[in-house]
Chain A
Amino acid sequence: MVVKSEAKLVTLKINDQEVTVPEGTTILQACQTAGIEVPNLCYQPLLRPWGSCRICTVEVLGRRGGLVESCAAQVREGMEVRTHSPEVLKSRQFILQMYLIDHALDCPTCDKSGECYLQDNTYLHNVHLNPYRRPKLAKPYTHLSDVIDYKWDRCIMCARCTRVCDEVIGVTAIGVLNRGLEAEIGPAYGTDLREGTCTSCGMCIAVCPVGALTDRRFGMHPWELDATETICGFCDVGCTLNVEHSRGIVRRVTHLWDRGVNHGYTCERGKWGYAQVQHPDRLETAFIRQGDEFVAADLDDALDRVADAFRRYQGDQFAALASPENTNEENYLLQQFTRAVMGTNNIDRLRHRGQSGVSQALRDSFGRPASTNSMQEAFTDTQCMLVVGPNIGETAPVGSYWLYWSRNYREAKTVVVSHDHFPLCDRAEVWIKPPRGAEARVIDAMARIILDAGLAHPAESASAGFEAWRASLAQVDPEQVAAEVGTDIATLRRAAILYATGGVGEVDGRDLADYPASAIYQTLGTDRGADAHPAAVALNNLALLTGNVGRAGGGVIAFRGSANFQGATDMGCEAGYFPGYQPVDDPEIRRKFEAAWLPRWNDAAVPQNGFKPLRELPATPGLDLDGMIAAIEAGQIKAMYIAASSHEYSPGIDERLLAVLPKLEFLVVEDSFPSDLAKLAHVVLPGAMFLEKDGSYTNADRTIQRLRYTVAPPGDAQPSWWFLQEIAERLGYNLTYRHPSFVLEEIAQLTPIYRGVSLPRLERGPLQWPVQPFGAEQSVFLELGDGLAPEAVRFVAD
C-alpha cells in the first residue's frame, strides 16, 4: 500500500477469539486474518462478494442473530461469530446436499478431482447421504472454444467465471444464460468463444471451484504434478506463473493468487504459451554452416569454431546484440564479454523502432529509460488512467486487468487514445481514435487545453525546459486537432480535464496539488514500425505538466513488449553505458569495471592473430543498432554475436538488420527456433527459453523477479550464460560462474540501482529498483530527488 490512511479498527470475537480488523472488512476476511478457514465457493479475492453459494454461512450471536453469509456481512464492534457451531455445520451440509443433487458423479474422470472445493467440502462436512436425491439432469460437454470446455452438470452457478471475465478481464465473453434450473454459462448466441471478445486468458477455468470449466489441453490429476513458480517470458508485465509439470513435460499453468505483480492472473500466452517452449520445432543441436547447408554439430565443435573465429575479430570489428528475452545475468555476461574480451563497446539490444522511440523518450524526459511508477498503484492511488497506444489487452493484457478493476472498484476514470477498438474503449469515459501516428497531436492538444484551463502545476524541481516547450505548443489548436482526428472539441476537453483533475472531471476550485493522481499507461513501444518518440515525449510532458511525476499513483508506465527489455537496458547492453546507466567514457567508472573484469584474463591466453588479453576497457561509446547496421553495410563490422528468441509471439527482427547481415564474415546466432535470423548465421547455437533457466527478469515497471528452472531444455540446448562462459574460456578469459546467482551478486556490487538484489532475496518476492537497504521503506515509484535525478527531468519540445 502506498496510501497511508487512518483506518478505524473494529474488534470482534470469532470462535471466542478476539480479532481486530479495519472497519469495512467482511467477516470472511476477518476469519482469514485470524487463520480460521471458512469454506467459500463463490468468493474470489479482488472481486466483490457475490453471496450465491451460501456455504460461507456463519452464525452471529446476539441481537442481529442467526445465520449470515460471511463473505458479504461486514464486521461490527463487539460482534460474536461462530464459524463451526452445530447450526452452521447443519446448514453447510444442507447446502452441499443441494449442490450434489444434480452434480455429476464424475470424480474419477473429472479434471478437478483432487483439487475440487466441492469435493473437499463434501468430505470435510461428512456428507454421506443425500435425502434429496432424484434422477439427475444431465447435459453433454459443451466446447466453448478449442481450449475451454463446459460441463453443465458440474456447474454450481457461483458465477465466478462471468464476474472475473466482466470485472477484471473486462471482455465479458461469457455470461449466465437462461435462469433457474436451466441456467448455464456460455457466450452470447452460443457462438464459439474465439469469435467473440474472449481473449482465451484461461481465468474462467482458473477461478472455477469445480470442474465445470476445464482446460481442454490438460488431462492429468493434480497429485501427479510437480509445481514450480516462475516468471512468464512473453511480455514485460512479468506475471508469476505456477508451472505444473510431470516427467519433465509441462502439463499446465496454474495460478498463485497472492504472488507476483499479476496476483495470479494470466493471459493466453501465460496460460498456454508453454506449448511454445515445448514445441517440436525447437532447435536441439548446434549447426555449422557449410556452403549453403547447415550441418548438425557437437556443441564442443561449434563452440571451438566460434572461439577460433572470434580470435580474429577483437576490437571494433566485432559487435553483439542482446536478446531482450534473455535474463539479466545473461545480458550482463554478454556485455562483459563484448567489452572485456572482444574489446569494443559495440553492444546493443535487438529492438524495433517502437521500443527505441519510447526508451529514448523516457531518457530525454526523465534521465533514465524506465517507467516512473508501477502497476500496483492502480489498486490504491490512481484515480484516472490515460491509456495510449495499441490495444493494451493484447500487448500487456494483465496490465489492462487492473484498469478494468479499478474502474469497477475504485471508480477510477479511464481515457483511451488508441486507433484500436477494444473493450476498454467502450467502458472508458472518453475514447479518442486518432489515425496511426497522430497520437502526439492529440496529447499536445490536451496539454494545450490544460494550460489554457489553468490546471498546469509542474513541480518546482521539475520545470526545466518548461518555457521553451510551452512556446512550442503555441501553434497547437485543439479545435483543429479534434477535427483532424475525427472527434469534437468537447470530447477532447473532457479527456484533458479528466486527466488533469485525477478523474474529478471539472475544476472545483481546490488547490491544484489536491487533485487525485493520474497515471499514463502507454503501449506505444509495442508497435514495431511506429515512430513512437513524439507521442511518448508528449505523454511525459503531460505527466510533468500536471505534477504527476514523483507521485504515488501518477507517472508514466511504458510497456515495450519484450519480457526483459527493461532488464537488458539496465544491464548495460547499450553502446555508451555500463550496467546501471554508468557512462563508459567516465574514467572512474571504467576503472571500477576494469578492476572487476580484467583480472579474469588468465596467463594461458596467448596473443595470436592480433588477439590479446586487454589491459583496459574501451573508452569511447560504441555503435548502437542503427550505427551497427550502417557499419556492417560499410564493411567495418565483420563479426557478430546475436542472441534472439524467435518464438511465435516475438515481435520479429528489424528488416534492415536482416538485410545487411549476409555481409558479415562471421555471424553467431543463438536462437531457440529456426528463424530467418538463424538462416544467416555461420554457427547456430540452440538457446534455452525462459522455463529452462534460472535468473532474473526486470519488467516494465522496474520490478526484478526470479525465474526458476522448471523443465530441461531440449536436446543440446543451453542457456545463454553457459555458451558465453564456454566461448570466453576458450579465448583465455575465465568466466566461471557456477550459477546465475553469482552473476547477480556481482551485478549488485557494481550497479548502484541493483544494489541489494540477489536471487535468495528475490525468493521472497519481487524487488523494484532502486532497492532500499533492509529496514528502509521501499518506494514503488521514482521520486524526484531519489530515483529521478532532478537535473535530468525536463520538458522536451519535439
Chain B
Amino acid sequence: MLDEVKGFWVTFRRLFTPNVTIQYPEEKRQMAPRFRGLPSLRADPETGEPLCVACGLCARICPTSCLEMTVVPSEEGDRELAEFILRSGRCLFCGMCAQVCPVDAITMSGEYELATLQRDGLIYTKTELAAIGAQNLGWWDADTQDAR
C-alpha cells in the first residue's frame, strides 16, 4: 500500500513540473545557430540582389554532386546564373558548399522540414532556394535576431 502511494506521489509531483514535450508542429525546437539545414541562396539584405556570382565552386566541391548550375555571361561582362538545381535527395547537409562560397551566397539555412510526397519535390530550383534564403536569416544578420 505504501509503494502505491510513493508511485502516485511521483506522478503527482510531475503534474507541476514543466513539460519537456515539444508540441510539434505548433511548437518547434529552436535550432543552434550553426545548425545545417537545406542550402539556400541569399540576397543582399539592402538591395535584394542575389549575391551569387556563379563561380561554380559549390558545385565543384559538393561530395555527392547534388548541385548543378548553368552559367551564362552577363551583360556587365562577368557571370550570372541561368539555372541552379539542388537535388536534396543526394545532399549530405555537410555544409561544404557554404564553406567554399567566396561571397557567402549559398548558406545552410535552418530549413529541415523537407518531407515531400513525390521524389520531384526533392529537387529545388533557383527561385525556391532564393525564397528559402530570404526567409531564413543567418546568425550574422544580427539586427534581425529579434524577429526570431
Residue of B with least CB distance to A214: B77
With an 8 A cutoff between CB atoms, is B73 at the interface? Answer: yes
The B63-84 residues at the A interface (CB cut-off 8 A) are 71-74, 76-79
* Contact of B73 with A109 in the complex, beta carbons under 8 Å: no
Shortest C-beta distance, B97 to chain A (Å), equals 13
Chain A residues positioned under 8 Å from B53 (CB to CB): 108-109
Distance in angstroms between the alpha carbons of A220 and B73 in the assembled complex: 9
Residue of A with least CB distance to B80: A219
Distance in angstroms between the alpha carbons of A380 and B143 in the assembled complex: 73
Q: Give how many A residues have a beta carbon under 8 Å from the other chain's beta carbons.
A: 18
Contact of A143 among B60, B71, B77 (CB under 8 A): B77
Q: A108-B53, A109-B54, A109-B55 are in contact. Are A151 and B77 (CB under 8 A)?
A: yes
With an 8 A cutoff between CB atoms, is B123 at the interface? Answer: no
Distance in angstroms between the alpha carbons of A214 and B76 in the assembled complex: 12
With an 8 A cutoff between CB atoms, is B57 at the interface? Answer: yes
With an 8 A cutoff between CB atoms, is B102 at the interface? Answer: yes
Q: Give how many B residues have a beta carbon under 8 Å from the other chain's beta carbons.
A: 16
With an 8 A cutoff between CB atoms, is A410 at the interface? Answer: no
Chain B residues positioned under 8 Å from A224 (CB to CB): 56
* Contact of B77 with A141 in the complex, beta carbons under 8 Å: yes
Hey, what's the 0/1 contact readout for A194-227 against B, CB within 8 Å counting as 1? Answer: 0000000000000000000010111111011000
28 contacts between A and B (CB under 8 A): A108-B53, A108-B55, A108-B56, A108-B57, A108-B102, A108-B103, A109-B55, A109-B78, A109-B79, A111-B79, A113-B55, A140-B76, A140-B77, A141-B78, A143-B77, A149-B77, A151-B77, A216-B77, A217-B73, A219-B54, A219-B71, A219-B72, A219-B74, A219-B79, A220-B56, A221-B56, A223-B60, A224-B56
Chain A residues positioned under 8 Å from B54 (CB to CB): 109, 219
Hey, what's the 0/1 contact readout for A72-114 against B, CB within 8 Å counting as 1? Answer: 0000000000000000000000000000000000001101010
* Contact of A219 with B76 in the complex, beta carbons under 8 Å: no
Shortest C-beta distance, B126 to chain A (Å), equals 16
Shortest C-beta distance, A96 to chain B (Å), equals 21
Q: Which secondary structure dominates chain A's binding surface?
A: loop
Chain B residues positioned under 8 Å from A140 (CB to CB): 76-77
Chain B residues positioned under 8 Å from A149 (CB to CB): 77
Shortest C-beta distance, A585 to chain B (Å), equals 59
Residue of B with least CB distance to A113: B55
Residue of A with least CB distance to B103: A108
Distance in angstroms between the alpha carbons of A357 and B78 in the assembled complex: 49
Distance in angstroms between the alpha carbons of A149 and B74 in the assembled complex: 11
Shortest C-beta distance, A263 to chain B (Å), equals 28
Shortest C-beta distance, A80 to chain B (Å), equals 44
Q: Which 9 pairs across A and B sit closest by C-beta, in order of nearness?
A: A141-B77, A108-B55, A219-B73, A149-B77, A109-B53, A108-B102, A219-B71, A219-B79, A109-B55
Chain A residues positioned under 8 Å from B74 (CB to CB): 219
Shortest C-beta distance, A146 to chain B (Å), equals 11
The B42-61 residues at the A interface (CB cut-off 8 A) are 53-57, 60
Distance in angstroms between the alpha carbons of A564 and B96 in the assembled complex: 52
Chain B residues positioned under 8 Å from A218 (CB to CB): 73
Task: Given contact pairs A140-B77, A216-B77, enumerate 12 new A-B contacts (beta carbons under 8 Å).
Answer: A108-B53, A108-B56, A109-B79, A111-B79, A141-B77, A141-B78, A149-B77, A151-B77, A214-B77, A219-B74, A219-B79, A221-B60
Distance in angstroms between the alpha carbons of A143 and B74 in the assembled complex: 12
Shortest C-beta distance, A193 to chain B (Å), equals 14
Distance in angstroms between the alpha carbons of A219 and B76 in the assembled complex: 12
Distance in angstroms between the alpha carbons of A217 and B76 in the assembled complex: 12
Shortest C-beta distance, A253 to chain B (Å), equals 16
The B23-54 residues at the A interface (CB cut-off 8 A) are 53-54
Chain A residues positioned under 8 Å from B73 (CB to CB): 216-219
Chain A residues positioned under 8 Å from B78 (CB to CB): 109, 141
Q: Which of A143, A216, A218, A221 has the most CB of B within 10 A?
A: A221
Chain A residues positioned under 8 Å from B56 (CB to CB): 108, 220-221, 224
Distance in angstroms between the alpha carbons of A140 and B74 in the assembled complex: 13
Hey, what's the 0/1 contact readout for A128-166 against B, CB within 8 Å counting as 1? Answer: 000000000000110100000101000000000000000
Chain B residues positioned under 8 Å from A113 (CB to CB): 55
Residue of B with least CB distance to A105: B102
Chain B residues positioned under 8 Å from A220 (CB to CB): 56, 71
Shortest C-beta distance, B100 to chain A (Å), equals 9
Distance in angstroms between the alpha carbons of A54 and B91 in the assembled complex: 47
Distance in angstroms between the alpha carbons of A223 and B71 in the assembled complex: 14
Distance in angstroms between the alpha carbons of A109 and B72 in the assembled complex: 11
Shortest C-beta distance, A354 to chain B (Å), equals 38
Distance in angstroms between the alpha carbons of A224 and B55 in the assembled complex: 12
Chain B residues positioned under 8 Å from A223 (CB to CB): 60
Shortest C-beta distance, A223 to chain B (Å), equals 7
Distance in angstroms between the alpha carbons of A370 and B14 in the assembled complex: 104
Residue of B with least CB distance to A218: B73
Residue of B with least CB distance to A149: B77
Distance in angstroms between the alpha carbons of A217 and B74 in the assembled complex: 9
Chain B residues positioned under 8 Å from A151 (CB to CB): 77
Distance in angstroms between the alpha carbons of A218 and B53 in the assembled complex: 15
Distance in angstroms between the alpha carbons of A111 and B74 in the assembled complex: 12
Distance in angstroms between the alpha carbons of A662 and B76 in the assembled complex: 51
Chain A residues positioned under 8 Å from B57 (CB to CB): 108
The A347-399 residues at the B interface (CB cut-off 8 A) are none
Shortest C-beta distance, B148 to chain A (Å), equals 31
Distance in angstroms between the alpha carbons of A244 and B57 in the assembled complex: 20
Chain B residues positioned under 8 Å from A219 (CB to CB): 54, 71-74, 79
Residue of B with least CB distance to A221: B56
Distance in angstroms between the alpha carbons of A113 and B77 in the assembled complex: 15
Residue of B with least CB distance to A224: B56
Distance in angstroms between the alpha carbons of A661 and B56 in the assembled complex: 54
Shortest C-beta distance, A115 to chain B (Å), equals 14
Distance in angstroms between the alpha carbons of A149 and B55 in the assembled complex: 18
Distance in angstroms between the alpha carbons of A151 and B74 in the assembled complex: 14
Shortest C-beta distance, B89 to chain A (Å), equals 21
Distance in angstroms between the alpha carbons of A149 and B103 in the assembled complex: 23
Distance in angstroms between the alpha carbons of A214 and B77 in the assembled complex: 9
